[in-house]
Chain A
Amino acid sequence: GAVVSQHPSWVICKSGTSVKIECRSLDFQATTMFWYRQFPKQSLMLMATSNEGSKATYEQGVEKDKFLINHASLTLSTLTVTSAHPEDSSFYICSGRNGRAGRHEQYFGPGTRLTVT
């Protein structure tokens, strides 16, 4: 299967600072990237969907000015958590899909655990 990487795998930051998480598709072109968030003992919740070169579409309740998503290339998407607060502490997972090839599987990254102190 296709490989998606995330960096960093975990990060601790102070309240009020910003954190950038990178998501890369290593062996396929991700025309669409999805960002999910997962709190302890809960399921994955979709935050936003982004198509390469376009603005991201955010799910209801997700602040677009707080969670900045950039999908500038077919292999890289970034999620920046701005002015992080302890309640933003979570497991953030990205996923890529190559729609051009007619493929429909989503391939997930290993996740990034964010802790805001």
Chain B
Amino acid sequence: DAKTTQPTSMDCAEGRAANLPCNHSTISGNEYVYWYRQIHSQGPQYIIHGLKNNETNEMASLIITEDRKSSTLILPHATLRDTAVYYCIVRVLSGSARQLTFGSGTQLTVLP
């Protein structure tokens, strides 16, 4: 699976949009971009995933550049409960039991 690079930490004001970047310059054509987050002392929570088109769900939006070498997770109106470590993971989608490999992630702190 391709390696990802994320900033170590970011701050965001409550109510504002949080934009979390991720670089995955070695991504292959069949690799998807996944985002998970982990609130302190809890298990990771799935947020969103995509291949090349931008995706949106009730939690967030995922913007993938045209060359697919980077992406941005957008939390449109951050709340204090969004404070967590956010993991960007690149992985092949297949029928095999491939696990998710977690990097260091970005610690997002939403400030009141």
**Chain A interface residues toward B at CB < 8 A:** 1, 4, 6, 31-32, 34, 36, 43-46, 49, 51, 91, 93, 95, 97, 99, 102, 104-111, 113
23 examples of A-B residue contacts, CB within 8 angstroms:
A1-B46, A6-B43, A31-B97, A36-B102, A43-B102, A43-B105, A44-B38, A44-B102, A49-B97, A49-B99, A51-B97, A93-B43, A93-B44, A95-B43, A95-B100, A99-B95, A107-B46, A108-B43, A108-B44, A110-B42, A111-B41, A111-B42, A111-B43
Q: In the assembly, what is the distance between CA of A49 and CA of B99, in Å?
A: 8
Q: Which residues of B contact A95 (CB under 8 A)?
A: 43-44, 99-100
Query: Is B30 in the interface zone, CB < 8 Å from A?
Result: no
Classify the secondary structure of A's interface with B. Answer: strand
Query: A97 to nearest B CB, angstroms?
Result: 7
B44 touches A44 (CB 8 A): yes
Query: Is B93 in the interface zone, CB < 8 Å from A?
Result: yes
Given contacts A99-B97, A105-B46, contact A91 B41 (CB under 8 A): yes
Considering the complex, give the chain A residue whose CB is closest to the CB of B93.
A104
A97 touches B95 (CB 8 A): no
Q: Which residues of A contact B36 (CB under 8 A)?
A: 108
Query: Is B26 in the interface zone, CB < 8 Å from A?
Result: no
Query: Is B104 in the interface zone, CB < 8 Å from A?
Result: yes
Q: Which residues of B contact A31 (CB under 8 A)?
A: 97
Query: Is B45 in the interface zone, CB < 8 Å from A?
Result: yes
Q: In the assembly, what is the distance between CA of A80 and CA of B95, in Å?
A: 28
Given contacts A1-B46, A43-B105, contact A106 B100 (CB under 8 A): yes
B101 touches A46 (CB 8 A): yes
B43 touches A110 (CB 8 A): yes
Query: Is B7 in the interface zone, CB < 8 Å from A?
Result: no
Q: Which residues of B contact A104 (CB under 8 A)?
A: 93
Query: Is B103 in the interface zone, CB < 8 Å from A?
Result: yes
Would you give the 0/1 interface string for B83-108, flagging 1 where the beta carbon is closer than 8 Å to chain A? Answer: 00001000001011101111111000
Q: In the assembly, what is the distance between CA of A91 and CA of B40, in Å?
A: 11
